[in-house]
Amino acid sequence: MKNRSRLHSIIVLLFLLPILTLLASRSDTTSAADSAIEQFVDTAAEPDSNNAAFANCRYGTSPDIEGEQTHVIPQLGAGWYLTFSTFPPQPPPDNGADFAHMIFVVQNKNGPVYLPSFKTIPTLNSTFGNYIRDNPGKLWIVGNEVDRGPNPGSLERVQGDTFPEIYALAYHEVYNFIKANDPTAQVANSGLVQVTPGRLQYLDTMWDTYVKEFGTAMKVDVWTMHVYALPEVHPDGTPNGIANVALGSDPAIGKRSSGGDPNACSDPDVYCFAEHDDLSIFAEQIRAMRQWMANHGQRQKPLIVTEYSILLPYELKDGVCEFLIDENGECFTPTRVSKFMDGSFDYLNSAIDPTLGYSLDNNRMVQQVMWFAVHSSGAGASSNLVKDNLVTLTQIGQTFQSRALSETSYRNLLVDHVQNVAVKAGPGGTATAEIAVTFRNNGNTKVNQPFTVTFYKDAARTMPIDSVSFTAAVPGCTSRAYAASVEWPGLAKGTHQYWVHIDSTNSIVESPSDDTDNIGSGWVFVVDDQVLVPVVRR
């Protein structure tokens, strides 16, 4: 058993490398990516579908970038998808599932030497800026597994291959470019390979560098993570070619492989192959990420798992599993993978923590997850949701479909925050103030119907100030914040309280049916024109 497992661990390195290299290769052809923008600026608008098919935003998956697999998304009930690319495949799924865009970040190198600079793919130019403006309010993920460098002894990039200090600089540039072109865009960090002590060290260095360089906390709208239990170093502590050591982190805190010894699996510093589907490790990594977020003042942000599944293979010869056999002599059969999926969905739907979870999503620890993949021919093939014909669901796909579609579809608009504002009185002793509210939808289904946002002078909401009609689709899972504002004229010096009601005409059927979380209040402070006026947020 011990020698066979060692052999299998070596084979896994070779098995994982092609698919990881393939993902990295998408970011090696800058000119191709840039030229593709011209095509998409005119044709890649993503109209929100009014199709009645349930698109459950809690569940996402990863189809191919060519668009040959997106037709499966409505069948699965998935409400969002990610192809690890900048532009959505065509045609889009007809259930209105949301696409998560990705901009690649790669540190420049001269052979094995890392340079203090980076490139982005696509290039941050005016053409790309036009594309961002033409597709407002989208989610943009900055990089993919930037912590993963080349395998030991190799110069070939495997993933993002960027040290945390450089990633902090790159993120700042990309964030500001996106926001300059679309202030409503949601910008997310790169998911790391997994969340382990070494990866948390990477996040610490990234965060501290950002604060040092820019004098402020890192601006992230949505945090992302990957969840895997993959060893980072060999039993002797040297880097391996599976998860590898996060760039810039201490190899001494890396998760070790078992060396084929099942007794090593009880060691918390070891990740056995047998633990690749361990639900306690799955929960441990999510809690660790949420704890890191809370420690850095980021608790009140959405957290999305942008990749997880079973990466280790299941290969048969004459009906018998020959690869991969874990330390306990077991294989990653479809039944085993389905059980892991079921258990992970159970955890994700029940993981609520009043001290770490996102309060606007009822303190849920995770807002959305993405299962890798719809169909992969490399790493992750044991997790495929469809068979090779790209039509028939696998056992795992049936589990996904059953879970995503069995949930009750619901919408729930709620106030994120109401702005407090201070303004100066004009020559006539009065002022006009712009009052505003931001809101979200923490249901599992997109709001596609128009609704009204009304601002009032009184708590009973009988004296309206003004109303606005909101016609844009509002995705669920608290994934994005939306704003509405009106002007309140004729305000005398002093303080003025106002109230706001999201969907004041009750056009949207919501759950829960009471609308207490649709209502909020704020203040306007009108002061003399000699007084310095601060902007106040609640």
Task: Assess contact for 433 and 423: CB atoms under 8 A.
Answer: yes
Lowest mean pLDDT among 52-66, 123-137, 171-185, 403-417: 52-66
Residue type, 523: W
DSSP string covering 221-285, please? Answer: SBEEEEE-----B-TTS-B-SSS-PPTTS-GGGSPBP-TT-GGGGGSTTB--GGGTT-HHHHHHH
Q: In terms of Cα–Cα distance, which of 243, 159, 167, 245 is closest to 204?
A: 167
333: DSSP letter: -
Residue type, 497: Q
Place of tokens 């997109």: 446
Q: Which residues contact 279 (CB under 8 A, 6 or more apart)?
A: 340, 343, 344, 347
Task: Assess contact for 285 and 197: CB atoms under 8 A.
Answer: no
- The pLDDT score that the predictor gives to residue 7 is 34
The most confident of the ranges 4-13, 98-107, 503-512 is 98-107
Domain spans in the chain, listed from the N-terminal domain onward: 2-406, 413-527
Which SS3 state, helix, strand or coil, does residue 299 take? coil
- Report the phi/psi class of residue 6: left, alpha or beta, with left for phi > 0 and alpha for psi in -120 to 50: alpha
Q: In terms of Cα–Cα distance, which of 240, 242, 232, 239 is closest to 270?
A: 232
Does residue 504 surpass a pLDDT of 80? Answer: yes
Domain 413-527 indexed as CATH 3.40.1830.10 = no
First-residue to last-residue Cα distance in the chain:
61
Which SS3 state, helix, strand or coil, does residue 156 take? coil
pLDDT band at 127 (very low <50, low <70, confident <90, very high): very high
Q: In terms of Cα–Cα distance, which of 390, 399, 429 is closest to 309?
A: 399
pLDDT above 90 covers what percent of the chain? 86
Residue type, 38: E
Average pLDDT over residues 85-92: 95
pTM of this structure = 0.90
Task: Assess contact for 281 and 275: CB atoms under 8 A.
Answer: yes
The two beta strands, 413-418 and 430-441, are antiparallel
The two tokens of residue 116 are: 């203090």
The strand pairing partners of 317, in sequence order, are 320
Q: In terms of Cα–Cα distance, which of 287, 172, 278 is closest to 225?
A: 287
- The pLDDT score that the predictor gives to residue 352 is 98
H or E, element range at 43: helix 30-43
Does residue 192 surpass a pLDDT of 60? Answer: yes
Does residue 529 surpass a pLDDT of 80? Answer: no
The two beta strands, 482-492 and 430-441, are antiparallel
Q: Compute CA distances 158 → 70, 144, 341, 443, 523, whole Å.
A: 26, 11, 27, 37, 52
Neighbours of 45 (CB within 10 A): 12
DSSP string covering 71-140, please? Answer: THHHHHTEEEE--SSSS--SSPPTT-PEEPEEEEEEEEEETTEEEEEEEEES---HHHHHHHHHSTT-EE
Does residue 2 surpass a pLDDT of 90? Answer: no
Q: In terms of Cα–Cα distance, which of 210, 212, 226, 135 is closest to 176?
A: 210
Average pLDDT over residues 105-131: 97
For domain 2-406, the CATH class is alpha beta
Average pLDDT, rounded, for the chain: 90
Cα angle, residue 77 at apex, residues 75 and 78 outer, rounded to 5°: 115
- Rounded Cα distance between 91 and 68, Å, is 9
pLDDT digits 0-9 by tens, 381-426: 999 999 999 999 999 999 999 999 999 999 999 999 999 999 999 9
Residue type, 343: G
Task: Assess contact for 118 and 106: CB atoms under 8 A.
Answer: yes
- The pLDDT score that the predictor gives to residue 413 is 97
Average pLDDT over residues 251-273: 97
Q: In terms of Cα–Cα distance, which of 248, 232, 229, 252 is closest to 163?
A: 248
Average pLDDT over residues 55-60: 98
Q: In terms of Cα–Cα distance, which of 439, 428, 448, 423 is closest to 524?
A: 423
Does residue 49 surpass a pLDDT of 90? Answer: no
- Rounded Cα distance between 172 and 248, Å, is 19
Average pLDDT over residues 247-251: 97
The two tokens of residue 67 are: 């668009």
Average pLDDT over residues 48-63: 78
The two tokens of residue 537 are: 């947020």
Q: In terms of Cα–Cα distance, which of 478, 503, 226, 476 is closest to 363?
A: 478
- The pLDDT score that the predictor gives to residue 327 is 97
- Rounded Cα distance between 32 and 44, Å, is 17
The two tokens of residue 217 are: 């906390």
H-assigned helices in 275-374: 279-295, 334-350
The strand pairing partners of 107, in sequence order, are 118
pLDDT digits 0-9 by tens, 365-377: 999 999 999 999 9
Count Cα atoms within 13 angstroms, Cβ side, for 94: 4
Residue type, 261: D
- Rounded Cα distance between 240 and 300, Å, is 36
pLDDT digits 0-9 by tens, 438-488: 999 999 999 999 999 999 999 999 999 999 999 999 999 998 999 999 999
- The pLDDT score that the predictor gives to residue 35 is 52
- The pLDDT score that the predictor gives to residue 167 is 98
Does residue 207 surpass a pLDDT of 90? Answer: yes
